[in-house]
Amino acid sequence: MDAMKQGSLKDVGVFLYEPRMMLRTLVTSTLERENHRVQSHQILPTLIQSIGETKAENKVLLLGVGGAGHSIYELLRFIRRVKTLKVKTVVWVPADFPWIRRLLSSLYVQYVVCENDLETTLLPALTQAIATPVLSGRKNLADRHTRGITQTELDILLQFASGLNSKEMATRRECSYKTIFSWKHNLSEALELESHSQWLELLTEVTQLSSLYQQG
């Protein structure tokens, strides 16, 4: 390893969340060949605790959303909160999930790659993440044309995906139906959804991810 590479790895904390054994092995072996030390986690609570306890100034989070299963809702909320922890993120998604890719961009994920191409895309994405400073707001978006969504907007999206309707959400949140409609409208604008069918496609992709790993 040359001096420049050694310097880039100094004080770097790399964290991995990938419940699927085959992909987890692929990622860890790829990183170990390049002398990257990685803390691997299969459940979210230990991952969150580990990130909070590390003293590394440069933190990079590697996530496989296709393996989250029923934890996908919790994982997406966690990804949205990561921005406040000054952690850079590299996420891989299954092929044919274009709306999930756009959603992740709106959650301030810096690098979104296809899990089918991990062998060739993981190291370049990680190298860029290590070298790139954490920015705030719109400058930190993977897709510069996408507006970041708020935690509340994400919660509304996930409640729709779980099967709740607007009236049920309004009752639970003790707000008006118009407020729910306004949040949904803001979400559609942020994600640049141009039709109701695209909104339904996004919800379908979220629900598909929740059952994808259980089917494997």
Query: pLDDT of the chain along its 216 residues, tens only?
Result: 443 344 445 578 899 999 999 999 999 999 999 888 899 998 888 888 888 888 888 899 999 999 998 899 999 999 998 877 789 999 999 999 999 999 999 999 999 999 999 999 999 999 999 998 865 544 444 444 457 899 999 999 999 999 999 999 999 999 999 999 999 999 999 999 999 999 999 999 999 999 876 544
3-state secondary structure the chain: CCHHHHHHHCCEEEEEECCCHHHHHHHHHHHHHCCCCEEEECCHHHHHHHHHHCCCCEEEEEEEHHHCHHHHHHHHHHHHHHHHHCEEEEEEECCCCHHHHHHHHHCCCCEEEEHHHHHHHHHHHHHHHHHCCCCCHHHHCCCCCCCCCCHHHHHHHHHHHCCCCHHHHHHHHCCCHHHHHHHHHHHHHHCCCCCHHHHHHHHHHHHHHHHHHHHC
Among candidate residues 140, 172, 193, the one where a domain is terminated? 140
Residues 23 and 128 in one domain: yes
Residues 195 and 100 in one domain: no
Residues 115 and 189 in one domain: no
The number of distinct structural domains making up the chain is 2
Domain assignment of residue 74, yes or no: yes
pTM, two decimals, is 0.86
What domain range is 39 assigned to? 3-140
Residues 80 and 157 in one domain: no
CATH code, 198: 1.10.10
Domain assignment of residue 146, yes or no: no
Residues 135 and 163 in one domain: no
Domain assignment of residue 197, yes or no: yes
